[in-house]
Amino acid sequence: AQSVTQPDIHITVSEGASLELRCNYSYGATPYLFWYVQSPGQGLQLLLKYFSGDTLVQGIKGFEAEFKRSQSSFNLRKPSVHWSDAAEYFCAVVGNSGYALNFGKGTSLLVTP
Amino acid sequence: DAGVIQSPRHEVTEMGQEVTLRCKPISGHDYLFWYRQTMMRGLELLIYFNNNVPIDDSGMPEDRFSAKMPNASFSTLKIQPSEPRDSAVYFCASSFRQGRTGNTIYFGEGSWLTVV
Protein backbone atom coordinates (compact mmCIF):
# COMPACT_ATOMS: atom_id res chain seq x y z
CA ALA A 1 0.00 0.00 0.00
CA GLN A 2 1.10 3.52 -0.66
CA SER A 3 2.50 5.13 2.46
CA VAL A 4 4.78 7.91 3.60
CA THR A 5 7.22 8.10 6.47
CA GLN A 6 8.30 11.26 8.22
CA PRO A 7 11.42 10.32 10.17
CA ASP A 8 11.53 13.43 12.34
CA ILE A 9 8.88 13.86 15.00
CA HIS A 10 10.17 17.22 16.20
CA ILE A 11 12.46 19.78 14.61
CA THR A 12 13.71 23.03 16.09
CA VAL A 13 15.18 25.79 13.96
CA SER A 14 16.14 29.36 14.60
CA GLU A 15 14.18 32.10 12.95
CA GLY A 16 15.84 33.02 9.68
CA ALA A 17 17.54 29.65 9.31
CA SER A 18 16.81 27.25 6.50
CA LEU A 19 14.46 24.32 6.93
CA GLU A 20 14.20 20.85 5.48
CA LEU A 21 11.52 18.38 6.53
CA ARG A 22 11.95 14.84 5.34
CA CYS A 23 9.38 12.58 3.75
CA ASN A 24 9.94 9.14 2.26
CA TYR A 25 7.29 7.36 0.26
CA SER A 26 6.58 3.76 -0.52
CA TYR A 27 5.03 3.22 -3.92
CA GLY A 28 6.08 1.45 -7.08
CA ALA A 29 4.81 3.87 -9.66
CA THR A 30 4.90 7.66 -9.71
CA PRO A 31 3.10 8.78 -6.59
CA TYR A 32 0.89 11.78 -6.06
CA LEU A 33 2.47 13.57 -3.09
CA PHE A 34 1.33 16.41 -0.89
CA TRP A 35 2.51 18.55 1.99
CA TYR A 36 -0.02 20.00 4.40
CA VAL A 37 0.47 22.29 7.38
CA GLN A 38 -1.63 22.35 10.54
CA SER A 39 -1.46 25.28 12.91
CA PRO A 40 -2.56 24.70 16.50
CA GLY A 41 -6.31 24.25 16.73
CA GLN A 42 -6.74 24.53 13.00
CA GLY A 43 -7.44 22.29 10.06
CA LEU A 44 -4.95 21.23 7.43
CA GLN A 45 -3.86 23.62 4.73
CA LEU A 46 -2.28 22.47 1.50
CA LEU A 47 1.25 23.80 0.97
CA LEU A 48 2.06 22.09 -2.32
CA LYS A 49 1.55 18.96 -4.36
CA TYR A 50 3.37 16.85 -6.92
CA PHE A 51 1.75 14.82 -9.67
CA SER A 52 4.24 14.75 -12.51
CA GLY A 53 6.60 16.92 -14.50
CA ASP A 54 9.06 19.26 -12.86
CA THR A 55 10.44 17.58 -9.77
CA LEU A 56 10.87 20.87 -7.92
CA VAL A 57 7.48 22.10 -6.79
CA GLN A 58 6.76 25.57 -5.49
CA GLY A 59 4.09 26.10 -2.90
CA ILE A 60 2.57 28.78 -0.75
CA LYS A 61 4.30 30.70 2.03
CA GLY A 62 7.71 30.34 0.37
CA PHE A 63 7.86 26.56 0.64
CA GLU A 64 9.15 24.19 -2.00
CA ALA A 65 9.61 20.45 -2.26
CA GLU A 66 11.71 18.24 -4.47
CA PHE A 67 10.64 14.84 -5.71
CA LYS A 68 13.56 12.43 -5.91
CA ARG A 69 12.62 9.06 -7.32
CA SER A 70 16.05 7.57 -6.68
CA GLN A 71 15.70 8.31 -2.98
CA SER A 72 11.94 7.80 -2.73
CA SER A 73 11.78 11.19 -1.09
CA PHE A 74 9.73 14.35 -1.22
CA ASN A 75 11.40 16.72 1.21
CA LEU A 76 9.95 20.10 2.07
CA ARG A 77 12.26 23.12 2.20
CA LYS A 78 12.19 26.77 3.04
CA PRO A 79 15.24 29.03 2.79
CA SER A 80 14.39 31.27 5.73
CA VAL A 81 11.96 30.28 8.46
CA HIS A 82 9.62 32.76 10.14
CA TRP A 83 8.21 32.39 13.64
CA SER A 84 4.75 31.98 12.09
CA ASP A 85 5.91 28.76 10.41
CA ALA A 86 5.77 26.93 13.75
CA ALA A 87 3.19 24.22 13.16
CA GLU A 88 2.71 20.54 12.40
CA TYR A 89 3.65 19.45 8.90
CA PHE A 90 2.22 16.40 7.21
CA CYS A 91 3.37 14.59 4.13
CA ALA A 92 0.74 12.57 2.31
CA VAL A 93 0.37 10.27 -0.66
CA VAL A 94 -2.69 9.23 -2.61
CA GLY A 95 -3.62 5.78 -1.41
CA ASN A 96 -4.75 2.64 -3.15
CA SER A 97 -8.16 4.09 -3.80
CA GLY A 98 -6.65 6.74 -6.02
CA TYR A 99 -8.59 9.39 -4.18
CA ALA A 100 -8.07 9.46 -0.42
CA LEU A 101 -4.78 10.46 1.16
CA ASN A 102 -2.55 8.44 3.44
CA PHE A 103 -0.73 10.72 5.86
CA GLY A 104 2.57 10.47 7.62
CA LYS A 105 2.74 10.90 11.38
CA GLY A 106 3.73 14.52 11.04
CA THR A 107 6.71 16.67 12.02
CA SER A 108 6.29 19.32 14.66
CA LEU A 109 8.30 22.45 13.89
CA LEU A 110 9.42 24.78 16.65
CA VAL A 111 10.96 28.12 15.69
CA THR A 112 13.21 29.82 18.23
CA PRO A 113 14.08 33.52 18.28
CA ASP B 1 -15.91 31.11 -1.24
CA ALA B 2 -16.71 29.17 1.92
CA GLY B 3 -14.52 26.24 2.78
CA VAL B 4 -15.52 22.96 4.37
CA ILE B 5 -17.72 23.73 7.34
CA GLN B 6 -17.89 21.44 10.34
CA SER B 7 -20.01 21.53 13.44
CA PRO B 8 -19.75 21.44 16.33
CA ARG B 9 -16.19 22.70 16.68
CA HIS B 10 -15.95 21.35 20.18
CA GLU B 11 -18.02 18.78 22.02
CA VAL B 12 -17.70 17.22 25.42
CA THR B 13 -20.01 14.31 26.09
CA GLU B 14 -20.41 11.52 28.56
CA MET B 15 -19.60 7.93 27.77
CA GLY B 16 -22.57 6.14 26.28
CA GLN B 17 -24.10 9.20 24.70
CA GLU B 18 -24.71 9.56 21.00
CA VAL B 19 -22.51 12.03 19.15
CA THR B 20 -23.31 13.49 15.73
CA LEU B 21 -20.74 15.46 13.80
CA ARG B 22 -21.79 17.46 10.78
CA CYS B 23 -20.09 18.57 7.62
CA LYS B 24 -20.89 20.82 4.71
CA PRO B 25 -18.45 20.27 1.84
CA ILE B 26 -17.34 22.89 -0.65
CA SER B 27 -20.02 23.44 -3.25
CA GLY B 28 -19.38 21.45 -6.43
CA HIS B 29 -17.07 18.93 -4.82
CA ASP B 30 -17.91 15.31 -5.53
CA TYR B 31 -15.73 13.60 -2.92
CA LEU B 32 -16.15 13.82 0.82
CA PHE B 33 -13.79 12.31 3.40
CA TRP B 34 -13.94 11.79 7.14
CA TYR B 35 -10.61 11.57 8.96
CA ARG B 36 -9.79 11.11 12.63
CA GLN B 37 -6.68 12.53 14.27
CA THR B 38 -5.21 11.24 17.52
CA MET B 39 -1.78 11.52 19.06
CA MET B 40 -1.26 7.79 18.93
CA ARG B 41 -2.49 6.99 15.44
CA GLY B 42 -2.13 10.27 13.59
CA LEU B 43 -4.53 11.02 10.75
CA GLU B 44 -6.66 8.05 9.78
CA LEU B 45 -9.17 7.85 6.96
CA LEU B 46 -12.49 6.63 8.28
CA ILE B 47 -14.70 6.71 5.20
CA TYR B 48 -15.13 8.52 1.95
CA PHE B 49 -18.02 9.22 -0.40
CA ASN B 50 -18.24 9.88 -4.10
CA ASN B 51 -21.38 11.59 -5.34
CA ASN B 52 -23.03 10.89 -1.98
CA VAL B 53 -22.32 7.15 -2.16
CA PRO B 54 -20.00 5.54 0.41
CA ILE B 55 -17.04 4.06 -1.46
CA ASP B 56 -14.71 2.83 1.25
CA ASP B 57 -15.63 2.50 4.90
CA SER B 58 -12.86 0.10 5.83
CA GLY B 59 -11.39 2.67 8.19
CA MET B 60 -14.50 2.91 10.34
CA PRO B 61 -13.31 1.46 13.64
CA GLU B 62 -16.41 -0.48 14.62
CA ASP B 63 -20.14 -0.70 14.37
CA ARG B 64 -20.58 2.15 16.78
CA PHE B 65 -19.52 4.47 13.97
CA SER B 66 -21.76 5.32 11.04
CA ALA B 67 -21.65 7.96 8.33
CA LYS B 68 -24.23 9.24 5.92
CA MET B 69 -24.38 11.68 3.07
CA PRO B 70 -28.04 12.33 2.24
CA ASN B 71 -27.20 14.99 -0.32
CA ALA B 72 -24.26 16.73 -1.96
CA SER B 73 -24.09 19.46 0.65
CA PHE B 74 -24.32 17.56 3.92
CA SER B 75 -22.77 14.63 5.71
CA THR B 76 -22.87 13.27 9.24
CA LEU B 77 -20.62 11.05 11.29
CA LYS B 78 -22.37 9.42 14.20
CA ILE B 79 -20.94 7.58 17.17
CA GLN B 80 -23.38 5.57 19.24
CA PRO B 81 -22.61 4.81 22.00
CA SER B 82 -19.54 6.95 22.49
CA GLU B 83 -16.53 5.77 24.51
CA PRO B 84 -13.56 7.67 25.97
CA ARG B 85 -11.24 6.17 23.35
CA ASP B 86 -13.25 7.99 20.68
CA SER B 87 -11.85 11.28 21.93
CA ALA B 88 -10.10 12.81 18.94
CA VAL B 89 -10.30 15.51 16.34
CA TYR B 90 -12.57 14.54 13.47
CA PHE B 91 -11.92 16.22 10.16
CA CYS B 92 -14.20 16.42 7.21
CA ALA B 93 -12.63 17.13 3.83
CA SER B 94 -13.83 17.46 0.28
CA SER B 95 -12.40 17.51 -3.22
CA PHE B 96 -13.27 17.64 -6.87
CA ARG B 97 -11.75 14.92 -8.94
CA GLN B 98 -9.86 16.51 -11.82
CA GLY B 99 -9.00 13.52 -13.92
CA ARG B 100 -5.38 12.50 -14.17
CA THR B 101 -4.16 15.68 -12.52
CA GLY B 102 -5.49 14.36 -9.29
CA ASN B 103 -7.40 16.18 -6.66
CA THR B 104 -6.65 18.63 -3.90
CA ILE B 105 -8.39 17.75 -0.70
CA TYR B 106 -9.63 20.69 1.36
CA PHE B 107 -10.06 20.21 5.08
CA GLY B 108 -12.44 21.72 7.55
CA GLU B 109 -11.22 23.03 10.88
CA GLY B 110 -12.22 19.87 12.68
CA SER B 111 -14.58 18.81 15.43
CA TRP B 112 -12.79 18.34 18.72
CA LEU B 113 -14.52 15.53 20.60
CA THR B 114 -13.93 14.66 24.22
CA VAL B 115 -15.76 11.70 25.75
CA VAL B 116 -15.60 11.56 29.52
pLDDT in tens, B34-46: 999 998 889 999 9
Closest CA to A10 of A84, A110, A86: A110
Closest CA to A107 of A37, A24, A3: A37
**What is the mean predicted confidence (pLDDT) over A78-86?**
96
Determine whether the interchain pair B102/A42 forms a contact, defined as Cβ–Cβ distance below 8 Å. Answer: no
**CB-CB neighbors (< 8 A) of B56 in chain A:** 97, 100
User: By CA distance, what is B41's nearest residue in A?
Assistant: A105
3-state SS class at A62: helix
Amino acid identity, position B8: P
**What is the mean predicted confidence (pLDDT) over A23-52?**
89
Nearest-neighbour CA in chain A from B80: distance (Å):
25
Of B16 and B101, the structure prediction assigns the larger pLDDT to B16
Query: Distance between CA atoms of A90 and A29, rounded to whole angstroms?
Result: 21
Q: Does A105 touch chain B (CB under 8 A)?
A: yes
Is the pLDDT score of A101 beyond 90?
no
For residue A53, the model assigns a pLDDT of 82
